[in-house]
Amino acid sequence: MKLYELSPAPNSNKKAYRKGRGAGSGNGKTSGKGHKGQNARSGGGVRPGFEGGQMPLYRRLPKRGFTNVFSTKYAVINIRDLEKRFENNATIDTQAIINSGLVKKVLAGIKLLGSGELSKKFNVTVAAFSKSAKEKIEKAGGRIEVE
C-alpha cells in the first residue's frame, strides 16, 4: 500500500454545511432562522436560563448551604487499606501509598482514618491522622510522623 492509495472510509467525509448560499443550497434566504423575530436578528436570542420574563427557575429555588472555599481537602485512606497492602514493619509515606495504588490524587496531602483493625506494625508519615488511627497504629507498636 502506498500513501497515494489511501482514501477515507465511504461516507466518512461530509461536505461542510454552508448557510445562506442561495435557494439551491436548501438553506438560503433566511438561513434556517425563519421570518423576523428576536432569533432571526444578528446577535439575537436570549441568555441561558431566560424564561421570557417569568421568574427563572434558578431564582425561584431557595438558596441552600454554603461552600467553604478555604477548607483543606485531603485524600483519605483507612487503616484497613494499609493492613491489606503493606508488610509488617513497613515504612509508609505518601510516595509508598501512591505506588501501592491506594491514592491517585494527593490533593493537600493524605489523611489516615481509623476504620478497620490493625495487626501489623507500621511507621507512617502522612499529612494528617484521625485520633482513632493514631491510637490504633501506636497500640500495634508502630510510629507516626506528620509531614
Mean pLDDT over 11-35 rounds to 90
Q: In this predicted structure, what is the pLDDT of residue 75? A: 95
Q: What is this structure's pTM?
A: 0.58
Asked if residue 26 has pLDDT above 90, the reply is no
Q: Cα(19)–Cα(22) distance, rounded to whole angstroms?
A: 8
Residue spans per domain, the chain: 18-49, 75-146
- Residue 67 is placed in which grid cell? 461552600
Among 68, 81, 60, 71, CA closest to 124: 81
Domain 75-146 has CATH 1.10.3730.10: no
- In the chain, DSSP assigns E strands to 75-78, 90-93, 110-113, 122-126, 128-129, 143-146
